[in-house]
Amino acid sequence: MPSEEPKTAPGNITEKKSPQQQGSPAQLNGFNLTHDVTNPSSQPQFESRPPSPASPPDPHILPREQWGGKYEFLLSCIGYCVGLGNVWRFPYLCYRNGGGVFLIPYFIMLFFTGVPLFLMELSLGQYGAAGPITVWKCCPLLKGIGIGMLCVSTLVCLYYNVIIAWTFYYLGSSFQSPLPWSCDAPANAYLCGNATTVNSSSGRALSPSEVFWNERVLGVVNSKGLHDPGPVRWPLALCLLAAWIIIFFCMLKGIRSSGKVVYVTATFPYFVLIVLIIRGATLEGSLQGVAFYLTPDWGRLASAQVWNDAASQVFYSLGIGVGGLLSMASYNKFDNNVIRDCLVITIGNCSTSFFAGFAIFSILGHMAWRKGVPVGEVADTGPGLAFVAYPEALALLPGSVFWSILFFLMLFMLGVDTLFGNMEGITTAVLDEFPQLRANMKQKSLFLGLLCFGFYLMGLLLITDGGIYWFTLIDSFATSFGLIIITLFMCIGISFFYGVNQFCQDIIDMICLCPPWCSKVLLYFKACWVFCTPFLLLFILTYIFIEMYNTPLQYGAYVYPRWGKALGVCMGATCCLQIPIWAIVAISKESGTLKDRFKKSIRPLNSWRVNNLNNSGGGEEQIERVEAPFTVNLTDRDTVNLTEVDFTAIAWENGTEA
């Protein structure tokens, strides 16, 4: 079965020998040639008829939007990358993996894995001016990568807004004085006066913040495990609904609305971090916390876990392979300097992670000093840091209500920005596949509303009494091996199927006034894409599989059953299995032998690069592009001296075979 859309290929010369055609003139792309093709000195002349005009744009389909300015794109990407993981995961990994020594593998992995993949995704989106699915017109065989990205984005959006709902709950509770998780609250007098309530997993006394988190927020004490979700916790359901309503209105007008929101949501967390660092520096015991954060342990460099943690943190904090970066870059102007943006965003993101560690550990150091325990006993990661350890530390400060409100506002801004990027990946992919939705604001609003409401209904499972067990399961597998495999195939596909040289040339074409340093930097990126990055991704993937096989999945003292872990593996497998499924579909649409089908399926479609004409052309006249292979239909008489025909006067728009 032939493919639905032809590929860009040089002129095919097809020979037809039917008797009915022997006396007919030769044809080139549907035009009759009136000259004698057997005369090599003659030039091909087309019949005197008006050329076919370029097909007019569909008035019902709006052109793609563009960012209002370069700062909107930069802030959107920084807000997308600088998320909750920068605050609650990086500082913990740093102290657990050798303190300041962790920065060595971290920056090595950043420059050999993170930055090259980040540039690849930004460049692909900007050059193709398309979302994560449509952009694979550059290599139809790999369309499954875009579908896989969509699956990962769906899983991430499903559980990520639950974190924002928790933040809303804490933010509302922060307006109470005293804070409900502090020892000053009358309900916590029995917890602070004695140690009768004990944590079953650690054997130590529970703090008021742990009781508030487990009993009042999660209700996990009422659930026996994954098989026992229990009823929905309606205060959290209202918070989740409010979170999705905010996301809906912020994204209602696409990048025109979200691009303005990021001026606040992307900058406010930096203001809060600076304030927290200044406040933490004035507290007793803060230096012990910072020392605990940065004290080097050089022996840790020999551990494979340290290098895996560094690579994983770089990979996940940059948001690579989810489709958000690709979608946001697709709204850039064609001549935007993508290399400069890549370096600014990646270095800014990783610097923020390091910077946030001082805000976290200075205040945790003060809490350890107040309790008279080592800092390691109060340090935590993930939700345990954001909703247990750090709120407890803030409750010890004078003016704790103010600091708590400030902290949870920061978490809300960090979460919303990241969710913007993930949702943008989904909406852009759908709108590119169904462009008529862009023209009708009512239909677009209805689609976005149904999407948000669908996520809300599915998210209700995660805010039941046993919802934290489902949250941990999805969090553990949604961005695990499936995402690494998707990114690995993206790197290999662009480097070896599309062509790394062609891809580098595309980047140079976008940067019209390409400074000399850009060309030199591209040599480094080319080496990474072909050698270093695939090797490091294989290392991460191997370590993930080994750890997944040897380490049981658990939340606190609860160990997940085998069927629960198998369900998580199915989530990850569903994402990466899209690649072979859609590759088979692409090959089956072609004709010829299996080898011919494969070669045809890795050729770019003719409509590849068409989307960026509006970006680069401005008011200039656009060149007509022929949406068909170049063919020359010849009769027996025409083929007598075919090898002597001079076709040099014909300007082939697609001069080389993909």
pLDDT tens by residue, 167-192: 999 999 999 888 999 888 888 888 77
Residues β-bridged to residue 32: 27
Cβ count near 352 (within 10 Å): 22
Structure pTM? 0.81
Residue 550 has pLDDT above 90, yes or no: no
H or E element at residue 109: helix 103-109
Look at residue 233 and give its three-state secondary structure.
Answer: coil
Residues 284-302: tens digit of each pLDDT? 889 988 988 888 888 888 8
Q: Are 135 and 330 in contact (CB under 8 A)?
A: yes
**Per-residue confidence at 612, pLDDT binned at 50, 70, 90?**
low
Of 196, 181, 177, nearest in space to 388 by CA: 181
- What is the pLDDT at residue 29? 39
Average pLDDT for residues 396-422, to the nearest whole number? Answer: 91
Sheet holding 31-32, edge to edge: 12-15, 631-634, 27-28, 31-32
Has residue 13 got a pLDDT over 50?
Answer: no
Annotated binding residues: 79, 82, 86, 317, 349, 414, 417
Residues in binding site for Na(+): 79, 82, 86, 317, 349, 414, 417
CA distance 411 to 160: 12
State the Cα torsion 342-347-353-359 to the nearest 10°.
Answer: -130
Q: What does the chain come to in residues?
A: 658
Asked if residues 170 and 177 have their Cβ atoms less than 8 Å apart, the reply is no
Upper half-sphere CA count for residue 460 (Cβ side, 13 Å): 13
**pLDDT at position 301, please?**
86
Which CA distances in Å does 560 have to 218, 469, 565?
Answer: 18, 8, 7
Give percent of the chain with pLDDT exceeding 70.
81
* Interval 481-504 mean pLDDT: 93
What's the CA gap between 206 and 209, in Å, rounded? 8
pLDDT tens digits along 187-240: 888 877 654 455 545 555 678 888 999 999 999 999 999 999 999 999 999 999
Give dist(CA 435, CA 442) in Å, integer.
14
Q: What is the pLDDT of residues 503-546, one digit of tens each?
A: 999 998 888 776 777 778 899 999 999 999 999 999 989 988 98
Q: Running DSSP on this structure, what letter comes out for residue 464?
A: B
What value does the mean pLDDT take over residues 398-416? 92
Structure tokens at 64: 């793609």
Residues 371 and 207: their CA atoms lie apart, in Å, by 11
Phi/psi for 13 (5° steps) reads: -110, 110
Q: Any residues with CB less than 8 A from the CB of 550 and at least 6 apart, and which?
A: none
Average pLDDT over residues 639-651: 41
pLDDT exceeds cutoff 50 at 9 = no
Q: Give the integer Cα–Cα distance in Å for 425 and 428.
A: 5
Q: What is the pLDDT of residue 641?
A: 46
For the chain, percent of residues with pLDDT exceeding 90: 44
Of 119 and 521, the structure prediction assigns the larger pLDDT to 119
Question: For the residues of 19-74, what is the DSSP string, one character each?
Answer: GGGTTSPPEETTEEB-S-TT-TTSPP-B-SSPPPPPPPPPTTSPPPP--SSHHHHH
